[in-house]
Amino acid sequence: MAPQTNDFPAAHLVPPTQAHTHTIILLHGRNSNGLELAEELFEGHTSSGDLFASQEAVFKGVKWVFPNSRSTYSEQFQEDLTEWFDLPSTSNPHAEPERQIDGLLASIAHINSIIDDEVKSTPANRILLGGMSQGFATASQVLFQCPRQLGGFVGISGWLPSCLAAAPAASSSTTATRIPMLITHSQDDEVIDAQEGTAAFSALRGLGSNVVFKEYAHGGHEICEPQGFDDIQQFLLGFLGHAMACLTEAGVE
């Protein structure tokens, strides 16, 4: 039976302010939502003191998509919270993998449906996927199972789940290994141990992926300000510039 995707809340969208050229899809962390991640991103400052999205001329054509996970009952916290899949332990996100699979498969199917909608108007290589914490974990699995070659990937303060065989045991020939990737993590992350970020980087590099790892001494379990915002902004600007250069070379406007 195919996972159900019609019971997820609608995504939080930030539309482009000019002709739509690129789509950036970012998944929030556990017990958060798309709006909260959007606010954290757009209210963050770079080392120059400017807001993260201050490069308006470059970002004007970007459609930002912040999907929302379902709200489910957490056995760990004994309450309902938003999560992409059941996670028995944040101190060991690989514990009890059998409890994670059903929710993760449903979330993967949901994000794939969003990508399917986006490719109707935007070439796959102009779509970037990423996420924060559990959103990183979920997005990584989407990436490894995606039949299309997307334009890039950003993973913040998260990990690669081991409950599915898709990663990190994916074939080195997968299209996922050919795209630029950025992984960031702070050493003082109090929720997801920084070793998970290091392990994700090592696994991806072992597959021959085009991946860069940025680690920060301080920043906790959020985007490190300002260094993390610097690195993510520069990575996204590189993604946008590379995609546009490829289109120019191909004679496509």
- For residue 178, the model assigns a pLDDT of 84
DSSP letter, residue 36: H
Round to the nearest angstrom and report the end-to-end CA distance of the chain. Answer: 42
- For residue 9, the model assigns a pLDDT of 97
Q: What are 8's two structure tokens?
A: 């997820």
Break the chain down into helix, strand, coil percent, rounded to 5: 35, 20, 45
- For residue 164, the model assigns a pLDDT of 64
The CA radius of gyration of the chain, in Å to the nearest whole number, is 17
If one counts every other C-beta atom within 10 angstroms of the C-beta of residue 22, the result is: 25
- Indicate the range of 20-24, 180-184, 196-200, 242-246 predicted with least confidence: 242-246
> What is the C-alpha to C-alpha distance for residues 156 and 137, in angstroms, rounded to an integer?
9
Quick: pLDDT tens for 89-123: 899 999 999 999 999 999 999 999 999 999 999 99
Quick: pLDDT tens for 216-227: 999 999 999 999
Element at 213 (helix H, strand E): strand 210-216
Q: What is the mean pLDDT of residues 20-35?
A: 97
- For residue 4, the model assigns a pLDDT of 54
- For residue 55, the model assigns a pLDDT of 67
* Residue 154 confidence (pLDDT) above 80: yes
Of 65, 66, 43, 64, the C-alpha closest to 225 is: 43
Q: How confident is the model at residue 250 (pLDDT cuts 50, 70, 90)?
A: very low
Q: Which of 3.40.50.970, 3.40.50.300, 1.20.1250.20, 3.40.50.1820 is the CATH number of 12-249?
A: 3.40.50.1820
Quick: pLDDT tens for 173-217: 456 778 999 999 999 999 999 999 999 999 999 988 999 999 999
- For residue 76, the model assigns a pLDDT of 73
Can you give the residue ranges of every domain in the chain? 12-249
- For residue 5, the model assigns a pLDDT of 57
Instruction: State what percent of residues in the chain have pLDDT above 70.
Output: 87
* Residue 43 confidence (pLDDT) above 50: yes
Sheet holding 152-156, edge to edge: 12-14, 62-66, 22-27, 127-132, 152-156, 180-186, 210-216
